[in-house]
Structure 1
Amino acid sequence: MTTVVKVGGARAVDPEGTIADIAALTGEGEDCVVVHGGSTAVDETLERLGEEPEYVETPKGVVGRFTDERTMETFEMVLPGKLNTDLTASLRKTGVDAVGLSGVDGGLLTGPRKSAIKVVEDGKTKIRRGEHSGRITSVNADLLTGLLDDGYTPVVTVPMLADDGTPVNADADRAAAAVAGALNATLVVLTDVPGVLADPDDPETLIGSAETPDALAQVESAAEGFMGKKVMAATEALDGGAAAVVVADANADEPVRAALDGGGTHFTPGAIEAEAEVDT
């Protein structure tokens, strides 16, 4: 079974434990695909360039970045450039035969472009144009499985390749979900909190699992801000064919193995399948 590990980029996340854990898993013969974003690094770069990062809220309450042309240029510079190179190099230092890829390489992540999005401003739904992002609808799984079969560990990041041939931004959590679904893999989403919390201010209120539609609804209602995007990614991964999803603490000891062994919030296909049966 392949494990897709989404590496978080928040300031409070220390990647060293995750890198060591991936090295241990691959050293034991496990197949891993690493997916990373880098919103924090992009924001810091934009600020150094005198630009203000912009985040918006959708009508569904999900918070995401608004990617204008300048931000897109920064993404292309930071993610497939510095961050992917640094993470690939760090993995290789630990003995992992890592290969860095963006979603553009080999048409790895493709789909339609979004030039406008719906946002909520001052309580009103508006259309914002000039967006440089897309929705991943296809993953070149053959490219990934070919690398895995040859003993490599793919290290994947956005941008994706839009259907008009243009590189555009895509959410890294949802990119990881698309990859996990295409590979029928287990997805581990590592972040700076223990998992989905019933009370976002209390780490003791961890919701351990979502195995039924009711439990999934509880998790969805508890997820606020950026966690909402991670829960959305979890459901998309399962709907796409992932074996399971875990949202867990990147700063735990042996974070990937801790997540696989029961840590964090676990999502199982039963919630999605049961939900589909109810709808029919």
Structure 2
Amino acid sequence: MESRIKIADILLDSLPFIKVFRNQIVVIKYGGSAQVNPKLKEQFAKDVVMMYMLGIKPIIVHGGGKDITTMLGRLGIESEFIEGYRVSTQESMPIIEMVLSGNINKELSAFLNHQGIKAVGLSGKDGGLFEARPKDGGKLGYTGEITQVDTTLLATLLEKGFVPVIAPIAGGEGIGHLGYNINADIVACEIAKSLQAFRVVFLTDTKGVLDAQGQLIPTLTKEQIHTLKANGVIIGGMLPKLEASLQCIENGVQKVHIIDGRIEHSLLLELFTSTGIGTEII
């Protein structure tokens, strides 16, 4: 009987959050272990199904850095990163698109459909969703920064009850251009800004944002992020996430969450419980 009462308490605790999220757009950046571990993939899919059934409108943007690095390595192509961003060469760009838009995107879409929701796989090239130009003047090759977002297709899909699954490949300049590899964190932010999404959630392989002692920081403000960055506490792959987070917060997104995707049902625990499990940027 005590276990049943505890279950009821958990459901009651989540009720106010469910009310707040109903009919809202939530953009989820899906990556890390949750994207490659079979059990975590299944738990993630069930979380998305639950959100969908509760009347929330999820949009999933996925990365694929580990798979890209593995495939490039098999082909004898070295991976290079600058300040957390991949350098995408003319040689590697077709492989990057193949892994993201071909392998990962379609596998994830099919997996979500199998779990009971209508998922549609896209990239920025579909419906002119987003276009880009070379990032940092081209020093990262075909790694780009988004210049334009057209959410017409996304709005139509959401209205019809579909869950968009987006690969971070952008259209380029003119017919025959290879396109651009965009950091998936940035894509999630730009999509959220354009749709005035309610929340953005980044799934990572860390507890969230950590302080100099390695302890989780539950809540962060813009000023605290700048201080942590200046002190060298925030480095590597966390830099693009926090840059994207600030862009989101400054452009109408209510909160951004950075959570540990290695925890089962991390999405539900973060969004629908009073304690949460990760870092929220406000």
Structure 2 counterpart of 1:274: none
Query: Are the aligned partners of 2:96 and 2:181 in contact in 1 as well (CA < 8 Å)?
Result: yes
Structure 2 counterpart of 1:193: 206
Does residue 152 of structure 1 match 2:173? no
Does residue 171 of structure 1 match 2:201? no
In the alignment, which of 27, 32, 47 is matched to residue 53 of structure 2? 27
Structure 1 counterpart of 2:149: 139
Report how far residue 163 of structure 1 moved.
Answer: 4.0
Q: Does the residue aligned with 2:146 lie in a helix, a strand or coil?
A: coil
Query: Are the aligned partners of 1:115 and 1:133 in contact in 2 as well (CA < 8 Å)?
Result: no
Aligned amino acid, residue 198 of structure 1 = D
Does residue 70 of structure 1 match 2:91? yes
TM-score after normalising by structure 2? 0.82
In the alignment, which of 104, 112, 128 is matched to residue 133 of structure 2? 112
Does residue 266 of structure 1 match 2:280? yes
Report how far residue 259 of structure 1 moved.
Answer: 2.2
Query: Are the aligned partners of 2:32 and 2:203 in contact in 1 as well (CA < 8 Å)?
Result: no
Report how far residue 214 of structure 1 moved.
Answer: 3.0
Aligned amino acid, residue 89 of structure 1 = A
Q: Does the residue aligned with 1:195 lie in a helix, a strand or coil?
A: coil
Superposed CA deviations along residues 233-253 of structure 1, whole A, max 9, x for unmatched, are 111222333221101111223
Instruction: Give, in whole Å, the separation in 1 of the partners of 2:250 and 2:173.
Output: 22
In the alignment, which of 51, 55, 72 is matched to residue 77 of structure 2? 51
Instruction: Give, in whole Å, the separation in 1 of the partners of 2:182 and 2:49.
Output: 27
Structure 2 counterpart of 1:97: 118
Query: Are the aligned partners of 1:188 and 1:259 in contact in 2 as well (CA < 8 Å)?
Result: no
Instruction: Give, in whole Å, the separation in 1 of the partners of 2:78 and 2:187.
Output: 25
Structure 1 counterpart of 2:30: 7
Query: Are the aligned partners of 1:112 and 1:134 in contact in 2 as well (CA < 8 Å)?
Result: yes
Report how far residue 25 of structure 1 moved.
Answer: 0.7
Structure 1 20/68 Cα, relative in aligned 2: closer, same or farther at 3 Å? same
Alignment of 1:35-46 (within 5 A): 35-46=61-72
Q: Does the residue aligned with 1:78 lie in a helix, a strand or coil?
A: helix
Query: Are the aligned partners of 1:184 and 1:242 in contact in 2 as well (CA < 8 Å)?
Result: yes
Taking only the aligned residue pairs, the percentage that are identical comes to 31
Which one is further off, 189-198 or 5-14? Answer: 5-14
Structure 1 199/17 Cα, relative in aligned 2: closer, same or farther at 3 Å? farther
Structure 2 counterpart of 1:271: none
Aligned amino acid, residue 216 of structure 1 = I
Instruction: Give, in whole Å, the separation in 2 of the partners of 1:80 and 1:30.
Output: 25
TM-score after normalising by structure 1? 0.82
Query: Are the aligned partners of 2:200 and 2:255 in contact in 1 as well (CA < 8 Å)?
Result: yes
Structure 1 residue ranges without an equivalent (≥5): 57-61, 118-127, 269-280
Q: Does the residue aligned with 1:132 lie in a helix, a strand or coil?
A: coil
Does residue 250 of structure 1 match 2:273? no
Structure 2 residue ranges without an equivalent (≥5): 1-23
Q: How many residues align?
A: 248
Report how far residue 215 of structure 1 moved.
Answer: 2.4
Structure 1 counterpart of 2:16: none
Query: Are the aligned partners of 2:128 and 2:150 in contact in 1 as well (CA < 8 Å)?
Result: yes
Structure 1 208/218 Cα, relative in aligned 2: closer, same or farther at 3 Å? farther
Instruction: Give, in whole Å, the separation in 1 of the partners of 2:248 and 2:153.
Output: 19
Instruction: Give, in whole Å, the separation in 1 of the partners of 2:155 and 2:148.
Output: 15
Superposed CA deviations along residues 95-154 of structure 1, whole A, max 9, x for unmatched, are 01000000110111113234844xxxxxxxxxx47x012211322222111101100000
Superposed CA deviations along residues 37-59 of structure 1, whole A, max 9, x for unmatched, are 10110111011112111112xxx
Give the strand-richer structure, 1 or 2: 1
Which one is further off, 146-155 or 234-243? Answer: 234-243
Report how far residue 164 of structure 1 moved.
Answer: 4.1
